[in-house]
Amino acid sequence: DKRYVVTGAASGIGAAVAQRLLADGAQVYTLDRNVPTFEATAHVEVDLANPNSIDAALEQLEGSFDGLLNVAGIPGTAPSELVFAVNSLAVRHLAEAFFERLNPGGSITVVSSTAGFGWPARLDAIRDLLATDTFEEGLAWFKANPQEGNTYNFSKEVTTVYTQSMGLALAQLGFRINSVLPGPVETPILADFEESMGKETLDGVKDLLGRHATPDDIADALLFLASDAARWINGHALVVDGGITGAVVTGVV
Ligand code: NAI
């Protein structure tokens, strides 16, 4: 049996991913601060904003795994240090813990966001942050280097750069790491995005595309990247947004 760990599995995209893997016969260990409504192989309660809690959760995960799917995230309406801790620092902390827990050919697949598409403008700062060694040092860096604008965007920029920058190192270990960058998805977090981005912006995107993504639209991309069909895809940031980001960055809309 294949064995996977899915974070953020109590809701939205993570719940869709975990249930699809279970339906395929895999063993699925769910990590979330909330308990999923479906039955996984095992659920481990964790606060991803706290490195000690993450380490305690890791101790409960025995054996090795074919994949880590790091889906959990919080919106920019939460306090900025929390957003940065969960969306960036926990992603790296968990990924690094899995370098020793993956089976040969195993993969790490992370949910970032199209909200992080502006990473090239902040690459120097992001590389500086990624040069820190620990969760605690990363948080200290963030406190000392307040970023302009929305912390959610910055947290996703960091995650997109992290997954792209680690592809080669993981390839040399026989593993893969990739990220999926969704546009708006119909999950509970969307109400917070309406608050932080403005309802008009999100409605405008929905009008252009006819609908928002469903959790399964994103789960399909994550499951592809976590599968052997994606064996030569490494360090890739896959935009899964129905086409909106391409139109924005090329100035079509
Ligand atoms: P959701 O709110 O339905 O699910 C997020 C899950 O993460 C929840 O189960 C929550 O309990 C868990 N979580 C949050 N903070 C946690 C913490 N400190 N410790 C443990 N678990 C924690 O949201 P959704 O949409 O499924 O989000 C999944 C990912 O997709 C997030 O990384 C989000 O940033 C990203 N995303 C979502 C988009 C959307 O429009 N829904 C768009 C782009 C990216």
For residue range 79-124, list pLDDT tens digits in order: 999 999 999 999 999 999 999 999 999 999 999 999 999 999 999 9
Ligand 1 atom closest to the CA of 47, numbered from 1: 19
- Whether 73 is in the pocket of ligand 1, judged by its Cβ within 6 Å, is yes
If you take atom 6 of ligand 1, which residue's CA is the nearest one? 8
- Whether 230 is in the pocket of ligand 1, judged by its Cβ within 6 Å, is no
Question: Closest Cα partner for 33 from 66, 77, 82, 81?
Answer: 82
The CATH number of whichever domain residue 89 belongs to comes to 3.40.50.720
> Is residue 136's pLDDT more than 90?
yes
Q: What is the mean pLDDT of the chain?
A: 97
- Whether 16 is in the pocket of ligand 1, judged by its Cβ within 6 Å, is no
* Cα gap 44→162, rounded to integer Å: 25
Residue type, 179: S
Q: 228: pLDDT confidence band, cut at 50, 70 and 90?
A: very high
Average the pLDDT over 138-165 and give the result: 96
Average the pLDDT over 25-45 and give the result: 98
Average the pLDDT over 42-51 and give the result: 98
Which pLDDT does position 208 carry in this prediction?
97
- Whether 14 is in the pocket of ligand 1, judged by its Cβ within 6 Å, is yes
pLDDT above 70 covers a percentage of the chain that reads: 100
Ligand 1 atom closest to the CA of 75, numbered from 1: 34
pLDDT above 90 covers a percentage of the chain that reads: 96
Structure tokens at 239: 């935009």
Q: 196: pLDDT confidence band, cut at 50, 70 and 90?
A: confident
Average the pLDDT over 12-27 and give the result: 98
Q: What angle do CA 83, 77, 115 make, to 5 degrees?
A: 70
Mutate to test the pocket of ligand 1, among 5, 11, 68 (most ligand atoms within 8 A of CB): 11
Q: List the domain range (segments joined by +) for residue 17.
A: 3-249
Which pLDDT does position 94 carry in this prediction?
98
Which pLDDT does position 197 carry in this prediction?
87
* Cα gap 11→159, rounded to integer Å: 20
Q: What pTM value is reported for the model?
A: 0.98
User: From residue 199, how far is each of 11, 206, 209 by CA, in Å?
Assistant: 22, 10, 16
Q: How far is the CA of 172 from the centre of ligand 1 (A)?
A: 30
Sheet with 65-70, edge to edge strand ranges: 42-45, 27-32, 3-7, 65-70, 102-111, 176-182, 237-240
> Is residue 138's pLDDT more than 90?
yes
Catalytic residues: 152
Average the pLDDT over 144-166 and give the result: 95
Instruction: Evaluate whether ipTM surpasses 0.85.
Output: yes
The total of structural domains in the chain comes to 1
> Is residue 194's pLDDT more than 90?
yes
Which pLDDT does position 149 carry in this prediction?
85
The answer to whether residues 31 and 7 touch, using CB atoms and an 8 Å cutoff, is: yes
The answer to whether residues 3 and 65 touch, using CB atoms and an 8 Å cutoff, is: yes
CB atoms within 10 A of CB 52: 9
Which pLDDT does position 49 carry in this prediction?
98
- Whether 18 is in the pocket of ligand 1, judged by its Cβ within 6 Å, is no
Q: How far is the CA of 9 from the centre of ligand 1 (A)?
A: 9
Ligand 1 atom closest to the CA of 16, numbered from 1: 26
- Residues near 202 by beta carbon (within 8 Å), at least 6 away in sequence: 184, 190, 193, 194, 212
Mutate to test the pocket of ligand 1, among 58, 187, 197 (most ligand atoms within 8 A of CB): 187
If you take atom 33 of ligand 1, which residue's CA is the nearest one? 73
| pLDDT tens sequence across 55-81 | 999 999 999 999 999 999 999 999 999
Which pLDDT does position 148 carry in this prediction?
86
Average the pLDDT over 135-139 and give the result: 98
- Whether 46 is in the pocket of ligand 1, judged by its Cβ within 6 Å, is yes
